[in-house]
Amino acid sequence: MKIVLATKSPYRREAFKMLDIEFTTEGSDVDEYFEGRPENPEELVKHLARLKAEAVAKNYSKEIVIGFDSIGWFEGLVLEKPKSRDDAFERLKMLSGKVHHFYTGIYMINLETGQILSRSVETELVTRELSDEEINKYLDQDPNYNTYALGYDPLGSYSSTFVEKCTGSYNSFTRGIPLELIVKMLKEIGYKLG
């Protein structure tokens, strides 16, 4: 049974390769900023993951399609991809020395059986105190600062030193895909892992 990831993310693609399972990827082009979208972070990521999976599933008939979405969450504020370097700088200043959360939603459809699974994962993160110089050092190193909803790449360059403590799914936070949950969901939806 073929697996299709409804994502354009190179991080998710590279992470999924670790499972040693054949798969393809296809972007959904879903508008994530629609009016009336859920305000609760868990509901939001699950809803967006569902929209992405359903959009891609229209192009298939017997596959397992998996949609994802990730956001950061800080004191009631949804953290999405920063729009500019200045935005990323302000984001990192705001998170410096604070606790924030990272949510990933997963929506899995077995098109052959019609079975659907929907889950979300929450990871709590503690950022150490960051100086302006450290933030700028990272932003100078990584022109793709906007790849992560939190404004930094947790696996790359100097930003890998930013998080002091991670409680929850390390894979979700670093790769946008909680592999430990994906494996359980695939088994539950009828995929034989080996």
User: Which three-class secondary structure state does DSSP give residue 157?
Assistant: helix
Q: What is the pLDDT of residue 147?
A: 67
3-188 CATH, one of 3.90.950.10, 3.20.20.70, 3.30.413.10, 2.130.10.10:
3.90.950.10
- The pLDDT of residue 154 is 86
3-state secondary structure of 107: strand
Q: How far is CA 134 from CA 22, 131, 148, in A?
A: 40, 5, 18
Give the model's pLDDT for residue 139: 92
Q: Give me the pLDDT at residue 10, please.
A: 87
Question: For residue 19, what pLDDT is reported?
Answer: 95
In the chain (194 residues long), the average pLDDT of successive 10-residue segments reads 93 93 94 87 96 97 96 92 91 96 97 98 97 95 78 85 96 93 97 87
The predicted pLDDT at position 110 comes to 98
pLDDT of residue 138: 93
- The per-residue pLDDT for 103 is 96
Residue 43 to residue 56: CA distance in whole angstroms: 20
| pTM over the 0.85 mark | yes
Active site residue 20: no
Catalytic residue among 69, 87, 140, 153: 69
Residues 6+ apart with CB under 8 A from 167: 123, 124, 125
